[in-house]
Chain A
Amino acid sequence: MVADCGSTQISVALIERVNGHHRLLARGEAISTHRFPWLDATVGLREAVRQIESLVGRSLLAEGRLLIKSQNQTMDGVDAFVAVSSAGAPLQVVLAGLTRSLSLASAQRALAATYTLTSGLLAIDEGPTSRDPNTQLQTLRLARPDVIFITGGTDGGAVHPVIKVAQLVALYNQLLEPEERPLIFYAGNAHLADEIAALFAAAGKLQVVANVRPGAELENLGQAQTELEAIYLKRSLALLPGLDTLRQWADRPIIPATRSFGQLIRYLGDRYQLKVVGMDLGSTSTSLAARAGDLFSLTTRADLGIGFSAGTALEQVPLEHVVRWLPFEIEPTDARDILLNKSLHPASVPQTRQDLLLEYALGREIMRQIVAQARPGWLRGGHHMLAHTPQWDLIVGVGRTLTRTPHPGYAALLLLDALEPVGVSQIALDAGGIATGLGAIAAVQPLAAAEVVEHDAFLNLGTVVAPLGTARPGEVALRVKVCYDDGREVQQEVMYGSIALIPLAAGARATLELHPTRRFDMGLGEPGRGVTAEAEGGILGLIIDARGRPLVLPAKDEDRRRLVREWMECLLL
């Protein structure tokens, strides 16, 4: 059994061997109960488990505790229990370093692997004001950080500026009571580790890890990410009411949901030799994981979510960017009110179509923000094409906003608008609601995780074909010939700015002959060059997205709304 304790909802899934294979047997859900008045995460967990008990007709709880099979003679109970969570408050971190584009950028990528919020930034390379100790001190005082992350200097590189920053932080620590002092996390010039340790010997708790930027072109995030996650587990997740009970039930330490999700995406890429990107759009946080060859990237934004974090998301995304995705007019204040009310009741669901489309519009912008943040990291992984013209073999959508839509076309459109993939990609949704738990399951029962991935985890929406390029409206972007396995053929011209849907049922396969016109490129770097590709069918079929890359929305309101309506209608929305 696996539990995902989110900030808004708790879901539990039961996996068992059926006819020799591990299958997802049943799921249960309840609202999260770690807040008042319950102040105990296990209240909601037990409710979700009871739902599974009703479905499978067996006892899984006894006297409120989880039954473990090895401890009883009946068929009741489970063999193993693991849990993931995203419900802990994010760590508040001040970043202090030299150069925003180098060491601080690497530090931010390290922070992005778990649930953190950057509440202040000291970047010494931003002019006299940024170097003024009074400004720096004020930044630290206002930020109330849990952790101060100091970085800067390649190994054997800059010395004096790094020491200066550390000294200012040590001075700040002198102003605080010992129990108030934040943890100092040093991941800069390794040659300075002893000197840094001496600074904080009497004034704070220090943790030293490998430099996140040991060379100008070298990035080393692994140890920093591992240790930051450990700090999050200890300082934040450990405080979750009810976690002690959960720990007693679990076979393994409870891990952050984002790590488990990242492990799944890495597994999919390695197991099936694919370039995979996964987007988990959550209530409080959103995670983007990518695996392509040696590249693995995990970006977590604890301030961007469609529920609890809708308010903070609106602080970062201009409202006009949100409403541009709507096929109707709405007063900006009304749009903001509706979305802010969602943040007050994050588990609530849209009952009107207006609310639904507004939530989806915000979801698009949240996902686009996180993609923009992750891209430089893809470039650093040597994947120029990924960074500039993302070409994925498989796109995975996770989170209730994406997986519980009135029509799967909504989910497809959301992911296409967010990721703007180029080339030929498969789209799948976490229909089983289990993706974030699969990484944790793999740690105890790898075969179970693999078999659930194979059989039950994903709903295949189909294949999307998207050429890179733009043109004038009305021009042909792509000529497609679909050769079905049964010998039928379909040919279609797709105009620039449009989406076409060609039937290709789930389980069916076809060979595609793709002929982009001279302004368009199927991701080979050669406009106009045709390619042949294999396509797998799905719930939606074959989606030809000829809206152009980059995706450009008309500036004129009426034209844009008409186009958005047309795109939705193309996908039968």
Chain B
Amino acid sequence: MKGGRGPLLAHTRGSPMTRIHIRRVLPAPGEILVKMGDQVEAPQRIARIPRHGEFQVINVAHTLGLANHDLSRVMVKKRGDRVEAGELLAAKREGLPFLHKPCRSPITGRLVAIGYGWVVIEAESSGEGQFAPGDKTGDLRAFVAGQVTSIVDRRSVTIETVGAYISGACGVGGEGNGILQVLAKNPADTLTADQIGMGANNAILVGGAGISPDALDRAREMQVQGIIVGGISSSLYDLATGFSFPIVATEGYGNLPMSPIVFDILKRHEGREASLSGQTGDARDNLQPAIIVPLAEHQPEMENWPLIEDVSVEFAHVGHQVRVVRHPLLGRVGELISMPTTPQQVPSGLSLPGAQVAFKNLERLVYQQDSILTRDEGHLQPDVVQFVPWLNLEHII
């Protein structure tokens, strides 16, 4: 490789301490409730779009038997008026009195549009309540404790904090805040229902490789604020979509041991307030699930952790810590020890450029032609060196 460096690699965030800028964006222009420099707490409302009620379309022209769609002569209410259920919206007063026809509002709300023979009533709502994923109205909360450093008129607020930041691979649900509770002893454990006790109420639970269906149900009963695991099976994903709390998988789909780096960071922060987002956007949104643990100032641990100010992504170099994103070593973290100049063949038959990566404590992997590989977990091999294609590696920053 030119200049002793490898290619650009994809990356993942797993920083024990870094400066974090969270941009909180309203889905449409609304009202900003904070100002520059304000210190905010995670559950604090920082912006809002008054929540809309459901819209109801009423065909006034049809109800009144009008020949055309001109409602100007029949409307009793105008755009912006509040109406009660049963209240008169419009009336045809031509001809004999007993032929006069009324059109009444079926719901209580506000008249928001008139046109083409129709009116639209927006049902009354309290105007409050958090955004659910996909909502366009509601309250926007800070999500993390920190300081407001930027406001874009009626649209977004940026909050800065310092602490741990971990990217999730996939997630489900909205946002949650709670105290981190690490239930797994080992990043390869599966979280089971019996591990989840009364203390889980309002907590963010940290499991290991995955979570059992019973544990999911139990977590819901205990009203947790979120769950973090290494992997989540796609079969549970559909079930979890209906839950009120977020679930973040740090490695991906399936039963996947959590990265030891991520597990270590979460273990260190056990007992602290964390913010969890399970939201995954589409190609427009660029959202990614995230775990954030803001740190208050002057905490002793901070002296041992270098603060990563800039996320500058370098080219691959010998000595870099890298993570594998594809089977059979999906989720494993190792050290890049050499960069062969010629492509090498992998078991799939593809010949690819890549790197030699040293892994510690790797369980022996047993391949069988065309079938799922099995892990011989009784045999751990220290310092195994494996060739991994560049495209299957990412930096951890």
Contact = CB atoms under 8 A, between A and B. Distances in A.
Interface centre among A137, A333, A337 (most CB of B within 10 A): A337
A347 interface: yes
A330 interface: yes
Contacts of B115: 167, 170-171, 174
A382 interface: no
A351 B55 contact: no
Interface string A388-410: 00000000000000001111000
A356 interface: yes
B132 interface: no
Interface in A338-367: 338, 340-341, 344-345, 347-357
A354 B370 contact: yes
Interface string B211-243: 000000000000000000001011100000000
Interface residues of B, number: 61
Contact of B254 (A92, A337, A353): A337
Nearest to B134: A142
B73 interface: no
B116 A356 contact: no
Interface stretch (A35-43, A102-110, A287-295, A522-530): A35-43
Given A89-B282, A341-B253, A133 B118 contact: yes
A340 B234 contact: yes
Interface string B144-161: 000000000000000000
A457 B394 CA distance: 32
Interface residues of A, number: 63
A334 interface: yes
A558 B253 CA distance: 28
A137 B55 contact: yes
Contacts of A171: 57, 113, 115-116, 118, 120
Interface in A125-149: 133-134, 137-138, 141-142, 144
B57 A336 contact: no
A405 B345 CA distance: 12
Contact of A348 (B235, B282, B351, B391): B391
Nearest to A561: B370
B8 A350 contact: no
Nearest to B231: A337
B346 interface: yes
A159 to B, nearest CB: 14
B325 interface: yes
A177 B112 CA distance: 12
Contacts, number: 172
A133 B369 CA distance: 57
A284 B391 CA distance: 17
Contacts of A141: 55, 136
A182 interface: no
A36 B286 contact: yes
Nearest to B348: A356
B17 to A, nearest CB: 17
A406 B350 contact: yes
A308 interface: yes
B2 interface: yes
Contacts of A133: 57, 59, 118
Given A36-B286, A348-B325, A353-B369, A30 B234 contact: no
Contact of B252 (A7, A44, A90, A341): A341
B34 interface: no
Contacts of B286: 35-36
Interface string B230-267: 01011100000000000000001110000000000000
B326 A350 contact: yes
A327 interface: yes
A242 B326 CA distance: 29
Interface string B280-298: 0011101000000000000
Given A37-B313, A344-B169, A344-B170, A337 B8 contact: no
Nearest to A170: B115
Nearest to A50: B2
B10 A330 contact: no
A175 B55 contact: yes
B120 to A, nearest CB: 6
A492 interface: no
Interface string B50-77: 0000011101000000000100000000
B370 A174 contact: no
B112 to A, nearest CB: 6
A44 B8 contact: yes
A33 B313 CA distance: 11
A475 B253 CA distance: 45
B79 to A, nearest CB: 9
Interface in B336-369: 346-352, 367, 369
B178 interface: no
A333 B234 contact: yes
Nearest to B282: A89
Given A35-B286, A54-B2, A328-B371, 11 more contacts: A137-B57, A168-B116, A171-B57, A171-B113, A179-B29, A284-B283, A340-B234, A341-B169, A349-B389, A354-B370, A355-B327
28 contacts: A30-B7, A33-B8, A167-B69, A170-B115, A174-B115, A175-B55, A333-B233, A334-B254, A334-B372, A336-B234, A340-B170, A341-B252, A341-B326, A341-B330, A344-B252, A344-B325, A345-B252, A345-B326, A345-B394, A349-B352, A351-B327, A351-B347, A351-B389, A352-B327, A352-B373, A353-B347, A355-B348, A406-B351
